[in-house]
Amino acid sequence: MLFQAPYPAIQTALITVNPDFSDTEALTSTVSSKRAVDGTLYTYIKRKGGRRKMTWTLVMARPAALGLRAFLYSYFASKIKVTDHNDRIWIGNFTNNPFEFDTPSGGGAPYSDGLRNDLQSITIEFEGIEQ
């Protein structure tokens, strides 16, 4: 995956691993039904201009996760351009608050440079429009 920010004057690009099998995509439109006093049923559809909500779970080594963390904290309020693992381009925003990194694999042996061999996991929620 390729994250680029801020959009449209891109200054930073970050290449990450592809998401695990748990990635999801959903429309952000909502439907509500109301019944009038006389029994008439009214249905309202709230469209959000074709926006979609994506959820990606990324598992990566700790050094790569630290780079992603720095990117997220620098550009979480900016528009982001994302090229996902299916080569689709999205423009939108992150909707996580806060970004939580997890260490599911536990501690590992340190690398020669002193960094630990831990795997980090993060779930990113992104809402945007496909280009």
The percent helix, strand, coil of the chain (3-state, each to 5) is 10, 45, 45
| Structure-model confidence comparison of residues 89 and 117, the more confident one | 89
* Structural contact between residues 17 and 1, judged by C-beta atoms closer than 8 angstroms: yes
What is the separation, in whole angstroms, between the first and last Cα of the chain?
Answer: 16
Q: How confident is the model at residue 28 (pLDDT cuts 50, 70, 90)?
A: low
| pLDDT tens digits, one per residue of 29-42 | 677 888 888 989 88
pTM of the model: 0.69
Query: 73, 74, 124: which is closest to 96 by C-alpha?
Result: 124
The dihedral over CA atoms of 74, 76, 16, 59, expressed in degrees to the nearest 10, equals: 110
From CA 84, how far away is CA 102, in angstroms rounded? 22
Query: 97, 87, 16, 93: which is closest to 53 by C-alpha?
Result: 93
| pLDDT tens digits, one per residue of 86-105 | 888 999 998 888 888 887 66
Please give the pLDDT value at position 81.
Answer: 92
